[in-house]
């Protein structure tokens, strides 16, 4: 089934079911589909045709969902953009993607106005709120554009599986941002896989908390709709706003970034709300400490699934869903599996291999790189054939993530290749050290990096944020780690920070930390 048939199907099967809740706005599936069709007609009227790129710069909002579906209806390539990027970075993406039409939230007017100074001028700009001085011949008001067109399905776009549906630009944590192409087959295959794996139904209520410009959340746009569930949208992350939404809208499931979950479980008002509607919480986008997993399960009294994936894979590659026989284990043993990166996703083949692409032993000790193949894997990077050939070799995508795998087939990521620390000839995996740091009762957030050292080559440094009102010394933190790790793995130094740098999606941004200490050395 092509992506352009998902929303019409939901509107036909669940016409009066509440589909979207965004602030005080609510729409049934029939009403929501009508708005999407109006937008599709409006975009078509502006001259957009199949294969054209349509960019959106917006906080989480019903507009984002409408744009995802309208682009699919017309066969447009949607380019979701991180609004936290600088005008120069935004201009680079607009230019590289060839996006000549932008849907933009009015609060980002200054960034859009400055695009021209960086050599990028969109042909059409559609503002989703009233903008003062909107006098240009190619500036449009979003709601006025919808009202000017019929709420009827547009003509069939004749979509093919290999047509590009979306173009996501990587966050740049490992280098220059690249445009990741996802096809209609990638997106719909992933959606079907999540419906099967997570047992999504029309009883599910999903809250969109992580940014919709990022695949940690955006995949649910299609999967939840296909299942007939309800979308609840929060414009930006705030723990209490999430708590209220779960209680008020009877949220059953969502996917959150570990940093968000960490803030939620340590929030002073977390115990004041009702979470009884939750059946499972997912985390994704970054590794998570087992101690945090324990706290999530205890705090929200719900099941937990760790997820791992990449933009290049639509995104899921693994889920820590327990096999049937593992559910008979004692709770502590179950927790050990739930806190692992997980076993392979239903729609992908996954291997952990050594430097000669030989599978490593399933002994939970030998470290190798995760490589994958399947219908959810990107065909490559936009306008970057050399980068594509480096990443995809003999049909296998090389993720750059280092992991071990156990006899049950559950992998556990130990580090990114580029984040592994080599100190005195020994390999130290930052995730292992971070997991110990999160066990410390006073530590709120932690990131471990390697810094230049004249004796060891690299030294292990811990960057730590303490919980409010708590104190700790460098010596105390190092001693705590040495009691639980081989001494060479323990930090040689500890810096206490007010906050750790984050990417636009909320992940801890280690590259910024490395650059900071490299500049200081």
188-243 tens-digit pLDDT: 999 999 999 999 999 999 999 999 999 999 999 999 999 999 999 999 999 999 99
Confidence class for position 132, pLDDT limits 50, 70, 90: low
**Spatial separation of the C-alpha atoms in residues 54 and 68, rounded to whole Å:** 10
Flag whether pLDDT at 131 surpasses 70.
no
Residue ranges matching CATH 3.30.300.30 in the chain: 420-520
**CB–CB of 93/81 below 8 Å?**
yes
Flag whether pLDDT at 177 surpasses 80.
no
Is the backbone of residue 55 left (phi > 0), alpha (psi -120 to 50) or beta? beta
* Residue percentage of the chain with pLDDT more than 90: 81
Coil, helix or strand at residue 492? coil
Element at 171 (helix H, strand E):
none
Confidence class for position 123, pLDDT limits 50, 70, 90: confident
Q: Is 395 exposed, middle or buried (0-12, 13-18, 19+ CB in 10 A)?
A: exposed
**Spatial separation of the C-alpha atoms in residues 14 and 81, rounded to whole Å:** 31
Average pLDDT for residues 86-99, to the nearest whole number?
A: 90
**Spatial separation of the C-alpha atoms in residues 158 and 520, rounded to whole Å:** 56
Q: Which of 333, 339, 301, 337 is nearest to 322 (CA)?
A: 337
Q: 49-58, 134-143, 388-397 — which is least confidently predicted?
A: 134-143
Question: Cα dist. 420→42, 221, 303, 366, 449 in Å?
Answer: 50, 35, 31, 15, 8
Q: 7-16, 380-389, 500-509 — which is least confidently predicted?
A: 500-509
**Spatial separation of the C-alpha atoms in residues 382 and 400, rounded to whole Å:** 19
Q: 86-95, 140-149, 192-201, 205-214 — which is least confidently predicted?
A: 86-95
Phi, psi of 130 (to 5 degrees): -60, 130
Flag whether pLDDT at 53 surpasses 90.
yes
- pLDDT, tens digit (0-9, with 9 covering 90-100), for 290-346: 999 999 999 999 999 999 999 999 999 999 999 999 999 999 999 999 999 999 999
**Spatial separation of the C-alpha atoms in residues 115 and 121, rounded to whole Å:** 6
Flag whether pLDDT at 174 surpasses 50.
no
What integer pLDDT is reported at residue 129 of this predicted model? 80
420-520 folds as GMP Synthetase; Chain A, domain 3 (3.30.300)
Average pLDDT, the chain: 93
Flag whether pLDDT at 105 surpasses 70.
yes
Q: What is the CA radius of gyration of the chain?
A: 23
What integer pLDDT is reported at residue 507 of this predicted model? 85
Please, what's the largest Cα pairwise distance for the chain? Answer: 71
3-8+25-159 folds as Rossmann fold (3.40.50)
**CB–CB of 489/478 below 8 Å?**
no
**Spatial separation of the C-alpha atoms in residues 125 and 507, rounded to whole Å:** 30
**Spatial separation of the C-alpha atoms in residues 112 and 60, rounded to whole Å:** 18
Residue ranges matching CATH 3.40.50.980 in the chain: 3-8+25-159
Confidence class for position 456, pLDDT limits 50, 70, 90: confident
**CB–CB of 197/491 below 8 Å?**
no
Flag whether pLDDT at 175 surpasses 60.
no
Flag whether pLDDT at 173 surpasses 50.
no
What integer pLDDT is reported at residue 167 of this predicted model? 98
What integer pLDDT is reported at residue 112 of this predicted model? 87
Flag whether pLDDT at 350 surpasses 70.
yes
Flag whether pLDDT at 172 surpasses 60.
no
Average pLDDT for residues 420-444, to the nearest whole number?
A: 91
**CA angle centred on 339, ends 490 and 368, rounded to 5°:** 65
**Spatial separation of the C-alpha atoms in residues 496 and 485, rounded to whole Å:** 21
- Six token digits for residue 497: 């920070």
Confidence class for position 521, pLDDT limits 50, 70, 90: low
Question: Cα dist. 216→96, 343, 500 in Å?
Answer: 23, 18, 20
Q: Which residues, including other chains, have CB under 8 Å from residue 177's CB and lie 6 or more apart?
A: 89, 92, 93, 169, 170, 171
Alpha helices in 114-238 (DSSP H): 142-147, 184-198, 215-218, 220-227
Confidence class for position 87, pLDDT limits 50, 70, 90: confident
């Amino acid at each position: 089934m092509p992506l352009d048939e998902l929303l019409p199907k939901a509107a036909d099967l669940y016409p009066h079911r509440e589909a979207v809740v965004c602030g005080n706005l609510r729409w049934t599936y029939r009403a929501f589909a009508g708005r999407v069709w109006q937008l599709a007609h409006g975009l078509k009227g502006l001259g957009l045709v199949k294969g054209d790129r349509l960019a959106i710069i917006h906080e989480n909002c019903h507009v984002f969902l409408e744009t995802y579906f309208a682009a699919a209806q017309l066969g447009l390539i949607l380019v979701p953009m991180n609004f936290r990027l600088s005008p120069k970075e935004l201009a680079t993406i607009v230019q590289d993607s060839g996006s000549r039409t932008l849907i933009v939230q009015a609060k980002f007017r200054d960034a859009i106005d400055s695009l021209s100074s960086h050599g990028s001028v969109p042909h059409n700009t559609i503002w989703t709120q009233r903008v003062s001085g909107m006098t240009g011949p190619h500036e449009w008001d979003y709601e006025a554009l919808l009202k000017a067109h019929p709420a009827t399905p547009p003509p069939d776009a004749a979509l093919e599986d290999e047509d590009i549906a979306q173009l996501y630009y990587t966050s740049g944590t490992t280098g220059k941002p690249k445009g990741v192409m996802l096809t209609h087959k990638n997106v719909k295959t992933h959606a079907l896989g999540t419906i099967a794996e997570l047992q999504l139904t029309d009883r599910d209520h999903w809250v969109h908390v992580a940014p919709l410009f990022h695949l940690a959340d955006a995949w649910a746009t299609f999967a939840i709709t296909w299942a007939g569930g309800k979308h609840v949208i929060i414009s930006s992350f705030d723990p209490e706003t999430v708590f209220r939404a779960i209680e008020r809208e009877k949220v059953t499931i969502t996917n959150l970034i570990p940093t968000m979950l960490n803030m939620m479980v340590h929030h002073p008002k977390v115990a004041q709300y009702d979470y009884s509607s939750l059946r499972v919480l997912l985390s994704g986008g970054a590794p998570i400490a087992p101690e945090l997993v324990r706290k999530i399960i205890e705090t929200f009294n719900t099941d937990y699934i760790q997820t791992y994936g990449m933009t290049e894979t639509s995104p899921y590659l693994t889920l820590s869903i327990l096999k049937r026989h593992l559910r008979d284990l004692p709770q502590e043993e179950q927790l050990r599996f739930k806190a692992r990166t997980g076993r392979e996703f239903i729609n992908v083949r996954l291997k952990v291999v050594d430097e000669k692409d030989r599978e490593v032993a399933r002994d939970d000790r030998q470290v190798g790189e995760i490589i994958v193949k399947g219908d959810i894997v990107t065909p490559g990077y936009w306008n970057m054939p050399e980068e594509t050939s480096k990443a995809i070799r003999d049909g296998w995508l090389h993720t750059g993530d280092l992991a071990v795998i156990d006899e049950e087939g559950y992998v556990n990521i130990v580090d990114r290749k580029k984040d592994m620390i080599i100190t005195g000839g020994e390999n130290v995996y930052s995730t292992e050290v971070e997991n110990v740091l999160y066990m410390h009762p006073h530590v709120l957030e932690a990131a471990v990096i390697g810094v230049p050292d004249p004796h060891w080559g690299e030294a292990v440094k811990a960057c730590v944020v303490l919980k409010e009102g708590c104190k700790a010394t460098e010596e105390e933190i190092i001693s705590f780690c040495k009691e639980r790790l081989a001494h060479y793995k323990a930090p040689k130094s500890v810096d206490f920070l007010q906050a750790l740098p984050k990417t636009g999606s909320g992940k801890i941004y280690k590259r910024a930390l490395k650059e900071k200490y490299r500049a200081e050395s």
